[in-house]
Chain A
Amino acid sequence: MRVFTTMVYRELKRFSHSRARVLGSIINPLIWLIFFGKGWAGVFDNPMAAPIFGGVDYMTYLVPGIVAMTVFNMSFMQGITIIWDKQFGFLKEILVAPASRTEAILGRITGGAIMALIQGVIILTLSFALADLKVSGVLPAFGLGFIVGIAIAAMGVAIALRMTSMEGFQMVIMMIMLPMTFLSGAFYPIRTMPEWMQWLAKINPLTYAVDGSRYYLAGVAPTFGITTDWLVLTALAAVLVGVAAFEFRRATIE
């Protein structure tokens, strides 16, 4: 437990030191919410469009998606920054220590998930001014968000451990984060997508996070059923954490 808590502590400390990162991580989703959301709200907020968005106004539809996106993006970034640890030696520090590697990497992932969740909560709190959200859904959404954070931070770690240089960094972000965000149903319903896109959306874990988050926070009936959302995300988290831990145990400096 000692190494685990130390690694969580490290993540929190690192984050709290970097004001630019904290600010940036809040501003980005806010820009989406306000400019994108308010822009389209004028188009979508009419009786014809309401059924498409599950019977709620567009801002209420969008907020849970943006909150899920925030948790997703942030936990992925937190996970993938392990490439800096690799590049700049902290990883060697861990590898040369008489410490459990599994514990160390679990701590790293959990720390990343907690950071992402905190930012999700900040966005959610601000969003109460913009949309008609359910207070009763906050706690379960919080739980789901944590699972998403763990899964995606682990994914980031697993990818970063396979990368040999920083060169691929930008590309990985573009190739993974953007499509997953657009295919998640955060901005528009999955049902109205072309069929091939729906198919991609269904294998996108973020879709289930958005689905569940929207159910809890906006009261929109879930596309897949809330149990499915939980099951998919929990299973995914278990698998990805396993992969990350496996890779980290085998990590060398060669």
Chain B
Amino acid sequence: MENAIEVDGLVKKYGDFEAVRGISFRVRKSEIFAFLGPNGAGKTTTVHVLTTLLKPTSGRAIVAGHDVVREPNEVRRKIGIVFQDPSIDSELTAYENMYIHGRIYGLTGRELKEKIERLLKFVELWDFKDKQVKTFSGGMQRRLEIARSLLHEPQILFLDEPTIGLDPQTRAHIWDYIRAMKEEHDMTVFLTTHYMEEAEQLADRIAIMDHGKIIAEGTAEELKRLIGNDVVYLRLEAPEEVKCLKADFIRGCKLLPDGRVRLDVENATEALPRIFELASKSGIKILEATYHRPTLNDVFLHLTGREIRDEADERGAMKARMKRRMRAFGRR
């Protein structure tokens, strides 16, 4: 088996709404593959189809060599998942959560006990094993969920927004665990995220998703090459009249919806003086100029005219917090 996941023409509709609009991609064995995109792009829906929780409207998905519709139980045996929303039992202790999960997956006795101990030590929760999960911080809960998902040694691990709503430090910590466990277990990891850094830090290959479609795919470097080497953003006095600057050293130029002009250049430090020269010669007034190496956000902006951050960051974090709060309230 060459590929861990093969998806062809996958469509998922909810009534009239098309959440996933015909996507195809391959995830190679033992790689970390990331779906990057804003909330509502269809990432979670895709994960739910691949993990047999939802039936696709049309299209085909093969996970770990088995069709998700025809052989869901075969797929289930070979995958692990960390859901976007917390899914641990906060009334129970960390150990009990692990124990119940292990038994549901057919582990028993000594083997189960040893695995629980090893994994809880791996995520540094062994000292808290007999504490109820509701006393855990968001990061601790996440770590427990990761440990739990590894208990039955899945071939493919799905992580749906693994660090949503966590502070930057905790996020970096979780990344370390993901890298370490991938090394140790040699698994394939399928990750969804709306954090560019997360995709960049972790993933071997990235698919950028927007409005139910994959709009670009490749390594982070390949994706950035879609733009060029450096990006210069200019704020002009009259952007509508000027629209673009033309010169042989400017590879690409685009007027953005927010009024800025984006220039793709080979080397921004050399290009900037020439841009100012060109501008003053043409009578264009530059109010502000910034430049940086392209990020995945620039790629997304280039492809869609919007930033991933626009809608995603705050709302996502808020939603996660609300869920956690509701959970604490509901279980009382």
Which residues of chain A have a CB within 8 Å of any CB of chain B?
2-3, 5-6, 9-10, 13-14, 17-18, 20, 84, 87-90, 92-99, 104, 166, 252-254
Query: Contact check: which of A14, A97, A99, A252 meets B89 at CB < 8 Å?
Result: A14
Give every chain B residue within 8 A of A166 (Cβ-Cβ): 330
Query: Contact check: which of B54, B85, B108, B327 meets A252 at CB < 8 Å?
Result: B54
Q: Please state if B73 and A6 are interface contacts (CB–CB under 8 Å).
A: no
Give every chain A residue within 8 A of B293 (Cβ-Cβ): none
| Chain B residues within 8 Å of chain A by Cβ, number | 36
Q: Please state if A10 and B89 are interface contacts (CB–CB under 8 Å).
A: yes
Query: Contact check: which of A10, A89, A104 meets B86 at CB < 8 Å?
Result: A89
Question: Please, how many angstroms separate the alpha-carbon atoms of A97 and B105 in the complex?
Answer: 7
Judge whether B180 is part of the interface by a CB distance below 8 angstroms.
no
Given A84-B331, A88-B86: A18 touches B91 (CB 8 Å cut-off): yes
CB distance from A126 to the nearest CB of B (A): 26
CB distance from A21 to the nearest CB of B (A): 9
Question: Please, how many angstroms separate the alpha-carbon atoms of A249 and B215 in the complex?
Answer: 36
Question: Please, how many angstroms separate the alpha-carbon atoms of A88 and B327 in the complex?
Answer: 7
CB distance from B227 to the nearest CB of A (A): 38
Give every chain A residue within 8 A of B73 (Cβ-Cβ): 98
Give every chain A residue within 8 A of B55 (Cβ-Cβ): 252
Question: Please, how many angstroms separate the alpha-carbon atoms of A91 and B51 in the complex?
Answer: 14
Judge whether B53 is part of the interface by a CB distance below 8 angstroms.
yes
Query: Contact check: which of A3, A17, A96, A98 meets B53 at CB < 8 Å?
Result: A96
CB distance from B327 to the nearest CB of A (A): 5
A-B contact pairs, 23 of them (CB 8 A): A2-B106, A2-B108, A3-B103, A6-B100, A10-B96, A10-B100, A13-B92, A13-B96, A14-B89, A84-B331, A87-B330, A88-B330, A89-B88, A90-B89, A92-B53, A96-B79, A97-B104, A98-B73, A98-B105, A98-B106, A99-B105, A252-B54, A253-B54
Q: Please state if B53 and A95 are interface contacts (CB–CB under 8 Å).
A: yes
Given A84-B331, A96-B81, A97-B76: A90 touches B54 (CB 8 Å cut-off): no
Question: Please, how many angstroms separate the alpha-carbon atoms of A6 and B14 in the complex?
Answer: 34
Judge whether B77 is part of the interface by a CB distance below 8 angstroms.
yes
Question: Please, how many angstroms separate the alpha-carbon atoms of A12 and B133 in the complex?
Answer: 17
Greatest chain A CB density within 10 A among B51, B103, B132, B326 is at B103
CB distance from A18 to the nearest CB of B (A): 6
CB distance from B77 to the nearest CB of A (A): 4
Given A96-B81, A97-B105: A17 touches B48 (CB 8 Å cut-off): no
B85-102 Cβ-contact flags toward A at 8 Å (1 or 0): 111111111001000110
Give every chain B residue within 8 A of A20 (Cβ-Cβ): 332
Question: Please, how many angstroms separate the alpha-carbon atoms of A90 and B85 in the complex?
Answer: 10
Give every chain A residue within 8 A of B14 (Cβ-Cβ): 254
Question: Please, how many angstroms separate the alpha-carbon atoms of A98 and B78 in the complex?
Answer: 9
Q: Please state if A3 and B104 are interface contacts (CB–CB under 8 Å).
A: yes
Give every chain A residue within 8 A of B326 (Cβ-Cβ): 87
Judge whether B52 is part of the interface by a CB distance below 8 angstroms.
yes
Q: Please state if B87 and A14 are interface contacts (CB–CB under 8 Å).
A: no
The residue of chain B having its C-beta at the shortest distance from the C-beta of A90 within the complex is B89
Q: Please state if A92 and B76 are interface contacts (CB–CB under 8 Å).
A: no
Q: Please state if A96 and B76 are interface contacts (CB–CB under 8 Å).
A: yes
Judge whether B195 is part of the interface by a CB distance below 8 angstroms.
no
Give every chain A residue within 8 A of B33 (Cβ-Cβ): none
Given A10-B92, A87-B330: A96 touches B86 (CB 8 Å cut-off): no
Q: Please state if B87 and A92 are interface contacts (CB–CB under 8 Å).
A: yes
Given A92-B83, A94-B104, A96-B76: A84 touches B330 (CB 8 Å cut-off): yes
CB distance from A82 to the nearest CB of B (A): 12
Give every chain A residue within 8 A of B100 (Cβ-Cβ): 6, 9-10
CB distance from A160 to the nearest CB of B (A): 13
Give every chain B residue within 8 A of A14 (Cβ-Cβ): 89, 91-92
Give every chain B residue within 8 A of A92 (Cβ-Cβ): 53, 83, 87
Give every chain B residue within 8 A of A10 (Cβ-Cβ): 89, 92, 96, 100
